[in-house]
Amino acid sequence: MQKPLESLPEPAGVGATPVPRHVAIIMDGNRRWAARQGRPVLFGHRAGAEAARRAVDAAIDFGVRWLTLYAFSSENWRRPQDEVAGLMRLLHQGLERHMDELIARGVRLRVIGDRDRLDDTTRARIEEAEARSIRNERIDVVMALSYGGRDEIARAARKLAEAAQAGRLDPAMIDERAFARALSTAGMPDPDVIVRTSGEQRLSNFLLWQGAYAELVFLDVLWPDFDASWFARVLEAYAGRERRYGARLG
């Protein structure tokens, strides 16, 4: 059972050291969690969806301004068809059942990724949720759906190349800022910290451009067990890091 936030120790650095503005999470471990419970894979994904709701609540309560959740990667389309269909059903149910509550809490929803691979119904529901929440400003919750970092970079490069070929862009003006504006995350701050659960220690094609200077935190907890106390550990770990951005060594 999740501990109430009042009973959690305040993360080191909250107040004294700024809380990270943008936390990005690779939500890993649903399948292993289900296997340990002796339950079907979709049981783990359902529990993972509840953990995502807890993460949003914790981010709001701790004062995080941006939260990006890696919900479904471009590689996940290769999974069994029934699993993919089940994940899409969970997405539909989540938007239908919880969007009113999220909006009431000040959540502005944004979805990044290749929407062309989504069916018309899913795209329509996402667009509706984004439109309904567009005026909220307490926290931006970004869902990376059908998302791959390399694909995003390739799309941005193609977009800039097409603009240059059409004469709308001087190739000499393409710098890091111009490239960032061509990404699906345009207008978003880069993540201050990227978290991965389940004990795995890799980025798995997530925010490859944006995460260039992000702090990395790897947690030995399967995603369905993630709660506010684990979020507090992320903030504690971040508060203990010295961010140098390559300015000096040693």
Return d(Cα 184, Cα 27) in angstroms, integer.
20
State yes or no: 45 annotated in a binding site. yes
Q: Which of 57, 61, 76, 190 is catalytic?
A: 76
30 is in an annotated binding site: yes
Encoding tokens for residue 122?
């899913």
**Terminal-to-terminal C-alpha distance of the chain:** 43
CA 146 – CA 148 distance, rounded (Å)? 7
Residue 205 bears catalytic tag: no
33 is in an annotated binding site: yes
Residue 209 among known ligand-binding residues: no
32 is in an annotated binding site: yes
Flag whether 223 is marked binding: no
Question: Is 22 among the annotated ligand-binding positions?
Answer: no
**Active-site residue, selected from the candidate residues 28, 57, 192, 227:** 28
Residue 202 marked as a ligand binder = yes
**Nearest Cα to Cα of residue 33 among 49, 19, 10:** 49
Is 46 known to sit in a ligand binding site?
A: no
229 has binding-site annotation? no
Is 184 among the annotated ligand-binding positions? no
Q: Which residues are annotated as a binding site for substrate?
A: 29-33, 45, 73-75, 77, 79, 196, 202-204
Provide the annotated active-site residues.
28, 76
Extract the annotated binding site for Mg(2+). Answer: 28, 215
